[in-house]
Amino acid sequence: MSGTVTPGTIHGVGLGPGDVDLMSLRAHRLLSNARHVAYFRKAGATGRARKTVDGILPDHAVEFAMEYPVTTEIPVSHPDYNAALSGFYAGCAAHLRALAEAGEDVVVLCEGDPFFYGSFMHLYTRLKEDVPVQVVPAITGMSAAWTASGQPITWGDDVLSVLMATLPEDELVRHMAAADALVVMKIGRNIDKVRRALRAAGKYDAAWLVEYASMEGQTVQKLSDAEGHMPPYFSVVLVHGNGRRP
């Protein structure tokens, strides 16, 4: 039909753990040719995803900063938390949908992998039935963390559990006790709860703390050597498996 606009594509692009050298070639190609770029950030901050692509985006790229209405100000279990974020994601999706319907391609920056606990998932579910959406996978932050530790995270038949430190303490203990290897994410002010849960599960002495994996300022140490230290939110606690080996 005359005048029909072919919709553009929204690309959820995984940037990897933070080291530009660990970004995929596909991600770099999309970024280098982007006309519209969207990214999440805390209000008033540049955002780690945006910092990661400094020097890669074209000068003419139109940027759309999606600023979270709430981060850690209220508990995730509070009804106001979900209500605020639901409206926020709906508004962001509407903006991106309008661009795609006008024929524009949009690159959405995603720290780590877009389908691994990332905010992009909330846009994806709101957009995938309306406009073309493609996802570029990436190395996860936890993969960079266990690589930085210098030890394999799993051996043989080890069972790996990935836990959010925001879980209730009894749930953390239950999952920690059942798994052979652990990745605990979103540490920050949850660190004391994580310490108690690891002790209750009998895994505290085997735990490692990795901060800023693959990025400037990376640190790796036994968790027991960091008593009293408040790690950043995006730190990772690891317990390596010790399973079957040939």
Domain covering 10-139 in this structure, CATH number:
3.40.1010.10
Could you tell me the pTM of the whole model? 0.91
Q: Name residue, tokens 């780590």.
A: 112
Q: 211 exposed, middle or buried (CB, 10 Å; 0-12, 13-18, 19+)?
A: buried
User: Which of these ranges, 62-71, 145-154, 221-230, has the smallest mean pLDDT?
Assistant: 62-71
The domain locations on the chain are 10-139, 142-239
What is the mean predicted confidence (pLDDT) over 107-122?
Answer: 96
Task: Note the pLDDT tens digit of each residue in 143-175.
Answer: 999 999 999 999 999 999 999 999 999 999 999
Residues 6+ positions from 178 with CB-CB distance below 8 Å:
159, 161
142-239 CATH fold: 3.30.950
pLDDT (0 to 100) of residue 233:
83
Cα-atom radius of gyration of the chain, to the nearest Å? 20
